[in-house]
Each structure stands twice: as structure tokens, then as C-alpha cells.
A and B are shown apart, each in its own frame.
Chain A
Amino acid sequence: MSLTASEIETARARLPRAFAADPAEQWKRRLVWGAATALTIYCLYRFGFFTWIFADGVLKFGSVVVAQLFPPTGFDQLPMFLRVMGETLAMAFLGTVLGAVVAFPLAFLASKNMMPFRPLQFGTRRFADLLRAFDYLIWALIFVRAIGLGPMAGIMAIAIVEVGTFIKLYSEAIENLDRKQMDGIRAAGGGRLHVIRYGVLPQVMPMMISNTLYMFEHNARSASILGIVGAGGIGFLLSDRLRAYELQEACLIILIVILTVYAIDFLSKKLREKIIGDDRHAPVADDVPQFTEPKAK
């Protein structure tokens, strides 16, 4: 059985909304998409995508940059590169730990269920937002000026951003606490410290450690670029080699960074699964017939 054209026409006349959206809605959509397209074209024009600079650049990127990147060379410097990569990871680790240690007490101030004095709670949250608003590289630039070139500036830059991030993440974990365990401790005669030690920490600790590991992963990436502004780590070598057109050595450094980042991601993921408990990652047994309910959509 198939529909004839006239039947479709009748249906369309009877139920216009089933075939197309409300005309006003349609016009609104066209306007939004039109404006977005116009803005995109204007941006392309503004940044010179329609000029010879762009066309030349594409050719140059292919023939000069990409062609000169491979194969990677500079293996005689490999021990030095690896040592500096180690320094990069150490920066990420210390920065993350420092940030976590400072943020831990502040997170209690920033959570609504722990801090009854609202202005202080709100103020701590906004302070955390302020620290996070600047990128690592901006903080690194500031600390390089203040404490000088080297990994200390990078550690401080990571630590400062992490204080902001961890206050946010930890206080969210604290606010999602289950009150029952805390009430239980209190009912059994526990004091305030007992409540925190036995009612709060066991609940939030896995989340906190998992978040901290995750941020360490993230910081291992960030630390590898901080050297671009002189804040220690492998970024310095990378930008140095790129600016000196030593592209093949730069390629080796990029490969080292990528492989290290993969390795850290892998280890940290395994460790996180171990800490949070791998129940949720447990594969469903093969012999259990699975019925997935179709989504009502």
C-alpha cells in the first residue's frame, strides 16, 4: 500500500506542523543561521583566508613545515630530552599536589552544607573562579617575572590554577554528601572532627583522589607547554627548536610529549578505576540476554 500524491497533500493541509515548523520559528532559525554564516564569512575575510598569504601559507606549510618535520632526528640528545620531560612531569605532580593541599581546607569553606556563613562561602567560590579564569600560561608569565625563569614558576602557575579548580571540584563533591552517615556518627556521640573523619572523608575521598589524578593527567599536558614562556619543562626546548627551524628535533620532542601523555593517561585511568572501584566498569556477563529498551524519542 502506498500513498498517492493527493493523499500526502491532504495530510499536509490538515497537519501542517507535522511537515514543517511554525513559520515564525522557521524565520527565526533562518535568521540565526544566516547571521552565523555571515559572521563566519566576515571572519574568514578579516583574518585573510581569501588572500594570497593564506594560499602561500598552505603551500609553505605542506612543503616546508610538514616535509621537514619527518623523520625525527636528534636521538643523540634523547637522554637530555627525557630528563627534561621528567622535569615536566615533576612540575605537574608538585603543582597538582600543592594545589590540592591548599584547596582541601578551602573547599569546606566553599560548600554550602559545611559553611553556614553564606558570604564567606560565596566569596571563596568567586575567588576560585578568579584563579581559574587565567590560563596556566598567563600565570606562568606572571611568575616568571616574579620568581624568575625555571620550573619553580611553572609549579606555581599550575598550583594556582589547581587551587581554583580543586576548590570547585572538591566543594561540589562535599555538597553531594549523603547526610545519613554524618547523622549516624553524630547520633552515636561523635564530635565535629569525628563527623568529618568518619562521616565525610570516606564519602568524598575516592572522588577527590580520582579528580586529583585526572587533573594531574591534564597538568602533564599543560606543563609541557609552560616552557614556551620560560617556566621550565620541555616546552622551552620545543619552542627553541621550532623557532630555530630545527623541525626534525622538534618532531622528536613532540613525539616524546605525545607518548608520555598517552602513558600517563593510561596509568592514571587504571589507577582511577582501582580507586573508585571498578564495579561500574565491569563488563556485563555474556550469557545474560540483554534487552535494551528503545529510547522514546
Chain B
Amino acid sequence: MSMSEGAARFERQYAEYRRGKTLWTAVFWAGFVVCFVVSMIVARFDVVALAAGLPRTTEFLVKLIPPIGWSTFAHDMGEWYWGLGKWLTSLLNTLLMAYLATVLGTIIGGALSFFAARNLVKHYAVYWVTRRVLEIARTVPDIVWALLFVLAFGIGPLAGVLAITIHTLGAQGKLFAEVNENVSRLPIEGIRASGGNWLHEMRYGVLPQALPNYMSYTFWRIELNVRSATIVGFVGAGGIGHDLFTSIQLLYFADAGAILLIVVGTIMLIDILSERYRHLLIGKEQLSQ
């Protein structure tokens, strides 16, 4: 094969490759544009309304903060945060709701995760049913669970705790089950060989391998649940979301601003703490391997 023949072949193949690639890109963009236009029509996307709305959004955001003067700073801040005690109680409720829901959801979801791991259960039916239960628990958003629980348990944090618990157990069950499916079989077989029953296998064979991952997921879940706990109040399920919702409905914008500031501060603080702790855990885990 001569040099030019090889070059010509390369050119031909390269052109073919480029054509295929261009075709795919064209298909992708065409699909994208179609989706975009259809979405614009279906969602009644209105550029005029948006252009008119954006200045109003800024106006609204400005209204969230009352005038604060330098000379009267302390007084103005006191005025702004007139309900600090009430809001801090709500915040404490929110955090405790998130904590309790994480604990309950993790315990129940963790227990179910052993039945949702293909390598740990003998009967396929058990595995299948558990998986479906977990799926339903986490696919229905926690605020929808909250709406349902408010019907039965009335307005208050109890409904919120239960709603977040259900969502948490679904999510934790699935994540933990995936961890369980990745454990080494050797310790389990060792325990079976020395006469341990199923419970022993899980406790001494699986749990020690899976625990660091469980912990890491649980800290992440606390982060997410604090967020959830701040919004379930919108439908009457307790926490600081309730104060936020009522203050915006009643047009007390300065109050809403004050609460939003508390919420954002708390969430950022928890994110930072949890991330640091998770890194610590993951670091330890990698060292031990």
C-alpha cells in the first residue's frame, strides 16, 4: 500500500467519522429545539411578563430588608428581629424534626435494606416487595407525604416528622441496600461456617463492612432533611417554614426577610459542618483499607 493510498483511506474514513458526528449533533440540536419550543408553548413562557416581573422581583427582595441606619443600627436590628425568640424556637423545632426523622428513617430504612439486597436474601419475592416499598416511599415527594399526614395527624410538626421519615426510609433503604450488595462475601461465609445464623451474618459479617458508608450517607441525609424540614411547614407540617409561609401570605415582608436569613444561615452552617465531618469519615475509611 502506497503512502498516498493510505492517506486517501484515512481521509475517507475521517470524512465518514465527521459525517456521522455532524449528523448526531444535528439530531441532538433539532430534538433540543423542538423540546424547547414545545415547552415554551405548553408552559406559556412569556418574555414580556418576565421582563416586567424581574424588576418587581428586585423590588420584592429589597422589601425583605427594612431600612437600617448606621446610627440606629442596634435599634433597627432589634425592630427587624422582633420575633427572634419565636423564630429560634421554630428553628429548634425544625432541626429536631430533621434529626428525629433522620434517626427513625435510617433505623427503619437500614433494617429494610438487608431485605432489599439481592445477595443477602434467598427469596426473590422478599427482595422485590421490599424494593417496591422503598421506591414508593422515596418517589412520592416528602411534601406530598406531609399533605397526606396533615389530613390524619392534624397541623403540627408530628405530620412533618412522619413525612420526612417516610421519604428518608425510602432513600436510605435504597442506598444502604446498594452498599450491602457490594460487601465482600468472605466474612459472611466465615460466620456461616462457624455456625452463625442469618442475624449473626448480618451483624458480624455485613455491618462492619458497610457501617462507614452508612454513616456517610446519614450525614448527607441530615443535610437534606434540614432543608425538607424548613419547607414542610408550607403545608402546615410544622417548623420554621410555617412562620415563613404565613409572613409572606400576610405581606409581612420584613419578617419574611428575617426568617429567610435565619434559614439560609442555618443551612449553610449545616452544609459546612456535615461536609467536614463526612470528609473526616471517608478519610478514616480509606486509611483503614
What residues of chain A have their CB less than 8 Å away from a CB belonging to chain B? Answer: 36, 39-40, 43-44, 46-49, 53-54, 57-58, 60-61, 64-65, 86-87, 89-91, 93-94, 97, 129-130, 133-135, 137-138, 141-143, 145-148, 150-152, 155-156, 221, 224-225, 228-229, 232, 238-239, 242-243, 245, 254, 258, 261-262, 294-297
Contacts and interface: CB of A to CB of B under 8 A. Distances in A.
A217 to B, nearest CB: 12
Nearest to B266: A133
Contact of A40 (B100, B230, B288): B100
Contact of B100 (A44, A155, A262): A44
B22 interface: no
B244 A138 contact: yes
B263 A134 contact: yes
Given A145-B248, A148-B53, A261 B267 contact: no
A18 to B, nearest CB: 15
Determine the interface band of chain B, counting residues with CB < 8 A from chain A.
35 or more
Contacts of B38: 90
Given A224-B141, A295-B184, A147 B56 contact: yes
A232 B44 CA distance: 10
B230 A135 contact: yes
21 contacts: A43-B103, A57-B158, A61-B149, A91-B39, A93-B39, A94-B39, A130-B264, A133-B263, A133-B267, A134-B267, A141-B248, A143-B53, A143-B57, A147-B49, A152-B46, A152-B50, A238-B144, A242-B144, A242-B151, A262-B139, A297-B187
A142 B60 contact: yes
A216 to B, nearest CB: 10
B43 interface: yes
B60 A145 contact: yes
A225 B100 contact: no
Contacts of B53: 143, 146-148, 152, 156
A297 B209 contact: yes
A20 B42 CA distance: 65
A93 B264 CA distance: 26
Nearest to A43: B100
Given A137-B234, A138-B231, A258 B139 contact: yes
A100 B240 CA distance: 31
A170 B43 CA distance: 27
Contacts of B267: 133-134
B60 A146 contact: yes
Report which residue of B103, B153, B289 has the largest number of chain A beta carbons within 10 angstroms of its beta carbon.
Answer: B153
Contact of B227 (A94, A135, A221): A135
A153 to B, nearest CB: 8
Interface string B275-289: 000000000000011
A258 B151 contact: no
A96 B34 CA distance: 15
A58 B136 CA distance: 19
A130 B261 CA distance: 11
Contacts of B238: 47
The 4 closest A-B pairs by CB, nearest first: A147-B53, A57-B153, A90-B39, A61-B152
B43 A90 contact: yes
A188 B53 CA distance: 49
Interface string B248-287: 1000000000001001100110010000000000000000
Contact of B151 (A134, A229, A245): A245
Given A294-B186, A295-B289, A87 B158 contact: no
